[in-house]
């Protein structure tokens, strides 16, 4: 936490708008560069307002872009590169939250919420149909109604 804060403060002090990814930063190998772009889109620029390092023009984002490219050039896999950055900056740097105990609830939410909502709808509709059945007259009541109506007519 303190480390993140320190990074934030340092970067804020030196933050000068520079423009996101610059032509000079790119790798010569287009395949490797494409991988770097994809990775860049999933890493958060820690000093920005919810931007990925690929979109951001902060210095920290540029440094991270350089780190990603350096690691990729050294032959690391995408997974290794992301792990390297995550080890240094924590889960906060991942725009796609990892699947781990602290985020089980987050990832389960869509399925659980939809399931619960659907279940509620089904139960309510069922109960309403039940209520409609109760409202229908039994054979006995039908007979009584007929008798009463007959009385009325006479």
Partner 1 sequence: MIPELGVFALAVAFVVTLVQSTVPLLGAARGDARLMAVGSAAATAQLLFIAVAFAILTLAYVRSDFSVANVAENSHTLKPLLYRITGVWGNHEGSMVLWVLILAAFGWTVAALGHNLPPSLKARVLAVQGIIGALFLAFILFTSNPFERIVPVPVEGRGLNPLLQDPGLAFHPPFLYLGYVGFSMAFAFAVAALIEGRVDPAWARWVRPWTLAAWCALTVGIALGSWWAYYELGWGGFWFWDPVENASFLPWLVGTALLHSAIVVEKRDALKTWTVLLAIITFGLSLLGTFLVRSGVLTSVHSFAVDPARGVFILGILILLLGGAFALYAARAPALKGGGLFAPVSREGALVLNNLLLCTAAAVVLVGTLYPLVLDAFGGGKVSVGPPFFNLTFVPIMVPTLLAVVVGAMLSWKRGDLAGVMGRLWLAAGAAGLVAVATLGLGGLRHALAALGFALAVWLVVGIAVDLAARLGLGTVGARDCLRRAAKLPRSAWGMAVAHAGLGVVVAGITASAHWQVEELRLLRPGETVALASYAVTFDGARQVRGPNYSAWEGRLVVRDGDRLVATLLPQKRFYPAEGQTTTEAAIHTTWLADIYVVLGKAEEGGAWSVRLYHNPLVPWIWVGAVVMALGGMLSLSDRRHRVGAPRRAARAGSEPSAAKA
Q: Which residues bind to partner 1, rule: CB under 8 A?
A: 1, 4, 17-24, 26, 42, 44, 49-52, 55, 90-98, 102-103, 105-106, 109-110, 113-114, 117-118, 121, 125, 128-129, 132
Least Å distance between CB 4 and partner 1? 7
Least Å distance between CB 23 and partner 1? 4
Q: In this complex, which beta carbon is closest to partner 1, that of residue 74 or of residue 105?
A: 105
What CA–CA distance (Å, rounded) separates 59 from 25? 13
Q: In this complex, which beta carbon is closest to partner 1, that of residue 126 or of residue 144?
A: 126
Contact 105, 93 (CB under 8 A): no
DSSP string for residues in 127-145: HHHHHHHHHSPPHHHHHHH
From residue 116, how far is each of 47, 67, 106, 138, 145 by CA, in Å?
38, 44, 15, 35, 43
Q: In this complex, which beta carbon is closest to partner 1, that of residue 20 or of residue 58?
A: 20
- Residue 39 φ then ψ, to 5°: -65, -40
Q: In this complex, which beta carbon is closest to partner 1, that of residue 5 or of residue 145?
A: 5
Least Å distance between CB 147 and partner 1? 28
* The token pair that represents 115 in the structure block: 């399931």
């Amino acid at each position: 936490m303190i480390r993140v804060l320190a990074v934030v403060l340092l970067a804020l002090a030196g933050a000068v708008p520079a423009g996101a990814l610059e032509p000079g930063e790119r790798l010569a190998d287009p395949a490797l560069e494409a991988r770097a772009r994809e990775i860049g889109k999933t890493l958060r620029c820690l000093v920005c307002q919810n931007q990925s390092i690929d979109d951001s023009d902060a210095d920290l984002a540029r440094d991270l872009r350089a780190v990603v490219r350096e690691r990729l050039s050294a032959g690391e896999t995408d997974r290794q590169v992301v792990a390297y950055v995550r080890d240094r900056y924590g889960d906060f740097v991942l725009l796609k939250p990892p699947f781990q105990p602290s985020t089980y609830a987050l990832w389960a939410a869509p399925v659980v919420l939809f399931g619960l909502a659907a279940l509620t709808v089904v139960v309510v509709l069922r109960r309403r149909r039940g209520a409609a059945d109760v409202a229908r007259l039994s054979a006995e009541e039908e007979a009584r109604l007929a008798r009463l109506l007959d009385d009325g007519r006479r």
